[in-house]
Structure 1
Amino acid sequence: MFCLVGCLFYPPTAAAEPVLCIEYHDFWPFYTRGTDGHMTGFAYEMVTEALGRIGVEACWESYPWSRAQARVKAGEADALVTVPTPERLRYAVTHPDPIYMKGHDIFTYAAHPKLELIKSIKSIDDIHKAGLTVITYQGNGWNDKNIRSRGIKTYDAPKLKSVWMMLANHRGDIIIEWAGAVWPLVEEAGLDGKLVEVGVSLDPTPFHLLIGKGSSFVGILSRFNEVLKEMRADGTMDEIMGRYVRRR
């Protein structure tokens, strides 16, 4: 009788829904955790919104990038939001359409004598043919792999913030960087009006949700991809981007 009464008045608690654990390293404005403990970033908002529409709750756990990837590879966490490289696709699966395409956008200095030629660039080979020089920063792996390796003359700044002053001082012809994070740095350096985004983007890099092959959440990827399309169509993606990225 006691058990019956207890069961009537204290029903068993329903099992908690599983939570998708996403590993990340701070990468503003994609995803970061503020000093108040709250997550922000356009990729964070896009992924959280898409998962919410299919009824999946996520937690975001910060680790050094190599450790974050290792945790998903080992099955200790579920997912990453990053580029689906061949190495990562050995231990994770993803969806067809990217969450975001991170461009490699071309900048030059105002009134460059070859501005029209720079605007006509269609590929990295065109940079080489035009004899243009590129300013970058030390340790830029993308530049080493795609620009320097093709014999294009490259000038290195000690850090990313320094490249804009070098370009403004005509120390090279162009810079190739993601426009989404450029203008705050340009304004901080006091170079507003001295640099030009020419409207050319090379080899954009796709960002996806990658879920470990052993995760119980692998089955959500098809629906997740459909929701991404819905969010583009209903303006959600543009609305989120507008809160983080300014273009000229």
Structure 2
Amino acid sequence: MKVFIIPLVALVMAVFVFMDARADDLKVNYADVYPPLSFGKMHDVHGVLPDLVHEIIEVEMGQAVSHQGKAWKRAQAEVWHGEADALVTSPNPERSRHAYISKLPVFQLAFRPYTRKFSRAYEAFKAATDLSGLEGLRFCDVHGNGWAAHFYKKHNISYHLTRSFDVCLGMLAIGRTDVVIHADFIIRELLRKISLVEHIYEHDLIFPESPNFHLMVSKKSDFGQEFLMSFDQTLENMKLSGRYDEIVARAVQAYGANQTAD
């Protein structure tokens, strides 16, 4: 009987050591269906944002990170309630009530309109410099996209909500919606993935409201403003040295985001 006691005690102690180590991790949530920025469930999450967080926080700052991909509404709610520590997304007034926000952006995007080739919306956006004079067009976006809620409210535009942008693009291809506005970096990859590059047109117009993605740390997290100050300083140093640009270029190549829509 004694033979089994020591291994059992050792096993229990090892579990507690592991749990203590995990408790010290910075728990970062990501959207689980947002390629190429983030995709994959729970700890099997990949993409540009997890790669950047890994390089900035784990490699440069020496802070262990637990990366988790989840449904976007749940990912945000866990951070607001302090069940997770952080996420990377665009700031808005609601998010600033729940989280401290980094001064420097982790990643920057260019938001453009996409239309079905040779449609009425296609012709309208070919000459457009903004959203004026585009009455009657149908717009599509996704549940939980705070940027869209503020953008469409500002321009007094109603829009249809779906679960993901690949659904929006599928609707666009068959004429069930007219316009999708989102980041070219993301839409180009989705168009390639779902084989709609030949049917959907990317317009030159870039909206001035295009968001920057910042690190947001829950106000209920043990990682607070002091951590964000260190994060901002680390990121600034990486950008000055050129290391940040190298990481972004590597991530773009790794996740196929350099594919373009014709």
TM-score for both structures, normalised by structure 1:
0.69
Q: Secondary structure at the match of 2:131?
A: helix
1:246 to 231, 234, 258: 258
Match of 2:45 in 1: 39
2:34 pairs with 1:28: yes
Distance in 1, Cα, partners of 2:167 & 2:29: 31
Q: Which moved more, 1:179-188 or 1:108-117?
A: 108-117
Distance in 2, Cα, partners of 1:69 & 1:157: 18
Q: Are residues 107 and 94 of structure 1, via their aligned partners in 2, closer, same or farther at CA, if it must alter by over 3 Å?
A: same
Match of 2:102 in 1: 95
2:86 to 79, 82, 101: 79
Whether contact under 8 Å (2:192, 2:259) holds in the other structure is no
Shift of 1:93: 1.0
More helix by proportion, 1 or 2? Answer: 2
Unaligned runs of 5+ in 1: 1-12
Shift of 1:42: 0.7
Unaligned runs of 5+ in 2: 1-16
Whether contact under 8 Å (1:106, 1:176) holds in the other structure is yes
Match of 1:5 in 2: none
Q: Are residues 117 and 209 of structure 1, via their aligned partners in 2, closer, same or farther at CA, if it must alter by over 3 Å?
A: same
Q: Are residues 121 and 21 of structure 1, via their aligned partners in 2, closer, same or farther at CA, if it must alter by over 3 Å?
A: same
Distance in 2, Cα, partners of 1:67 & 1:158: 13
2:202 pairs with 1:197: yes
2:197 pairs with 1:186: no
Q: Secondary structure at the match of 2:93?
A: coil
The C-alpha deviation readout for 1:214-235, integer Å capped at 9, x for no partner, is 5245312223223333444332
Aligned residue pairs, count: 231
Q: Secondary structure at the match of 1:98?
A: coil
Counterpart amino acid of 2:98?
Y
Q: Are residues 212 and 148 of structure 1, via their aligned partners in 2, closer, same or farther at CA, if it must alter by over 3 Å?
A: closer
Distance in 2, Cα, partners of 1:144 & 1:75: 24
Shift of 1:67: 4.7
Shift of 1:238: 2.6
Counterpart amino acid of 1:201?
I
Whether contact under 8 Å (1:22, 1:59) holds in the other structure is yes
Match of 1:8 in 2: none
Match of 2:12 in 1: none
Provide the identity percentage.
23
Counterpart amino acid of 1:219?
E
Match of 1:211 in 2: 217
Shift of 1:197: 1.0
Shift of 1:64: 5.0
